[in-house]
Amino acid sequence: MADETKIGGDNYRFKETLWTTLLKAKDKSSTGYQEALNYLITTYWKPVYFYIRQKECDIETAKDLTQSFFTVFLEKEFIKSVERSKGKFRTFILAALNHFLSKERERIRAQKRGGNRMIFSLDFAQAETEVMQQPTRQMTPEKTLIQAWAHTILKIASENLRQECKDSSREVYLNVLEAYLASQQENQSVSYKDIAEQFHISELDVTNYLHRIRRRYRELIEAEIRKYVADENEVKEELLELFSAFS
């Protein structure tokens, strides 16, 4: 019988953490390196852009520097120059980014955008819209990076949750959750009974579905965080920091 307490399984994308895979990489053909690098860019390009944007206050310069930072990452130049000390992955990224900025800022500004470097497909227009929507001027660049990282992690976990529900034919879980959240956002006094009647299920089902999908969402958030930590003890600490980014 299928386990009804979970929506999805416990499979994680990497056998090793992203941190471990990238730091162990000796060349581009190393096992897991390219996959980890692609995931890193997907997860961190926007936080890096927000950080640079906060420091540089110039859109085109921030675009150039963001593109170039990940190109240098791909070439592994910065890994050789940044100390591989233990610590949070973001600490490592920030050290690498600050090192890169100190070495590359003037050279990148003098080049035409792109130059001889690889160009990544990054949606800067959308990122700039998000920059304008956030009170970034009231935050430090470091706080801006953490908040952007937190948004990205939550978005990935949400997308994975939605896909799991579709794959397991349990979209009703999502429907119930969305109906509940909508009622909260609109300050409506919608009861579990109202939701149950809307989807032709019992009130107990509503309670169980909300419990299960919330728990699974947290598990998927933890699964994303787990890719960036050195050991399991750091997951809780990172989870607390993720939610504190919105306080």
- 126 and 17 in a single domain? The answer is yes
Mean pLDDT of the region 38-53:
88
Query: Are both 204 and 133 inside the same structural domain?
Result: no
Clarify whether residues 32 and 131 are in a common domain.
yes
The boundaries of the domain holding residue 38 are 13-114+121-138
Are 127 and 156 found together in one domain? no
Cα–Cα distance for residue pair 213/215, rounded to 1 Å = 5
Q: And the tokens for 112? A: 């035409």
How many domains does one find in the chain? 2
Cβ-contact 73, 51 below 8 angstroms: no
Does residue 101 share a domain with residue 61? Answer: yes
* pLDDT for 239 beyond 60: yes
Q: What's the pLDDT at 23? A: 66
On whether residue 106 sits in a domain, the answer given is: yes
Q: Which of 40-49, 50-59, 183-192, 194-203 has the highest mean pLDDT?
A: 194-203
What is the rounded distance in angstroms from the CA atom of residue 192 to the CA atom of residue 201? 10
| pTM, two decimal places | 0.73
Residues 32 and 69 in one domain: yes
Instruction: Compute the mean pLDDT over every residue in the chain, rounded to the nearest whole number.
Output: 77
Backbone angles phi, psi at 233, to 5 degrees: -65, -20
- The better pLDDT of the pair 2, 221 is held by 221
More confident residue, 235 or 115: 235
pLDDT number for residue 164? 93
- Per the listing, tokens 């959308």 go with 126
| Token representation of residue 229 | 């930590």
Distance CA 46, CA 148 (A): 7
User: Looking at residues 174-202, what average pLDDT do you find?
Assistant: 86
Tell which wins on pLDDT, 193 or 231.
Answer: 193
Predicted local confidence at residue 187, as pLDDT: 65
pLDDT band at 4 (very low <50, low <70, confident <90, very high): very low
Stretch 175-204: mean pLDDT: 87
126 and 206 housed in the same domain: no
SS3 state at 115: coil
Is there a domain that residue 187 lies in?
A: yes
In a domain, 98, yes or no: yes
Residues 23 and 132 occupy one common structural domain: yes
CB 148 within 8 A of CB 50: yes
Q: Which residue type, as a one-letter code, is found at position 191?
A: S
Residue 20 sits in the same domain as residue 127: yes
- Within-domain flag for 1: no
Question: Does 106 share its domain with 127?
Answer: yes
pLDDT at position 215 is: 94
Examine residue 8 and state whether it is found in any structural domain, yes or no.
no
Q: Do 145 and 134 share a structural domain?
A: no
Does one domain contain both 144 and 239? yes
At residue 118, the pLDDT reads 53
Whether 99 is in a domain gets the answer: yes
Whether residue 3 lies inside any domain: the answer is: no
The CA distance from 195 to 177, in Å, is 10
The larger pLDDT score, comparing residue 230 to residue 165, is at 165
Per-residue confidence band for 76, with pLDDT thresholds at 50, 70 and 90: low
In a domain, 5, yes or no: no
